[in-house]
Amino acid sequence: MSNLLINILLAIIPALGLVFYFHRRDSQKKEPISLIWKIFIIGFFSVFPAVVIELVLEEFTGMGNTLQALFARAFIVAALVEEGIKLSVVRLFVYKRSEFDEITDGIVYAITASMGFACFENILYSTGGLATVLLRAFTAVPLHAIASGIMGYYIGYSKFSGTNTMIKGFLIAILIHGLYDFLLFTGTALGYLVIPLLIIGWIILKRLMKKALLIDRMTGRS
């Protein structure tokens, strides 16, 4: 087996692993596997419109290394566009379906879309060598799951609570994703701060998952 093929497999496995981890965590009323695959594939190909939009925005934000340019690239070009694309996938392809019948489903479907997106990104980076693939597996892939999963909680809560919390979730996702990218873009020791960022984000996501399951059970949706 060639090194490239090994790298591609290592690029795919973490994304699929997180999809099935959160699908399994939705223990009260699991989502159809066929729909999970559909959202994953749509998320995978959603990279294309994201890249087009990012290339256009880069013309306006610039590619310099000033803090202003790095901030714009992290929070606007990357975070705003990518989280916006993932939110659109959930809103357009699953939000109004009968299968989306729990707050928890918002988390599951948002993470599924984000893992499809991250899977494509990982494959693109797989030519960068084993170190690059492993670094993304333990940082970039969880980052996508954390930011979009937290957003997914607010998507689900918005649907069933009658309050518009979707924008709140979107802004939180942009903040987490943008901060992650900004810290890495600086190319300094600040990059190490992504580790506590990911740990805190993971804890928050797991607590929101637990909270969503509890609300769904108490309101009779599960």
Identify the sign of the CA torsion 114, 101, 205, 11. Answer: negative
Per-residue pLDDT, 63? 66
Residue 150 near residue 169 (C-beta atoms within 8 A)? yes
CB 107 within 8 A of CB 212: yes
3-state secondary structure of 220: coil
Question: Is residue 43 over pLDDT 80?
Answer: yes
Q: Name the percent of the chain in helix, strand, coil, to the closest 5.
A: 85, 0, 15
Tell me the per-residue pLDDT of 184-212, one tens digit each, with 9 for 90 and over. Answer: 999 999 999 999 999 999 999 999 999 99
Cα–Cα distance for residue pair 112/35, rounded to 1 Å:
10
Among candidates 93, 71, 211, which has minimal Cα distance to 149? 211
% of the chain at pLDDT higher than 90:
76
Please report, for residues 88, 124, 135, 144, 204, the alpha-carbon distance to residue 138 in angstroms, rounded to integers and kept in the order given: 26, 16, 5, 11, 18
The span from the CA of 204 to the CA of 209, in Å, is: 9
User: Which residues touch 177 (CB under 8 Å, ≥6 apart)?
Assistant: 78, 79, 82, 83, 143, 144, 147
pTM of the complete model beyond 0.85 = yes
| Domain residue ranges in the chain | 3-22+44-214
Mean residue pLDDT across the chain: 92
Angle at 219 between CA 216 and CA 222, to 5 degrees: 45
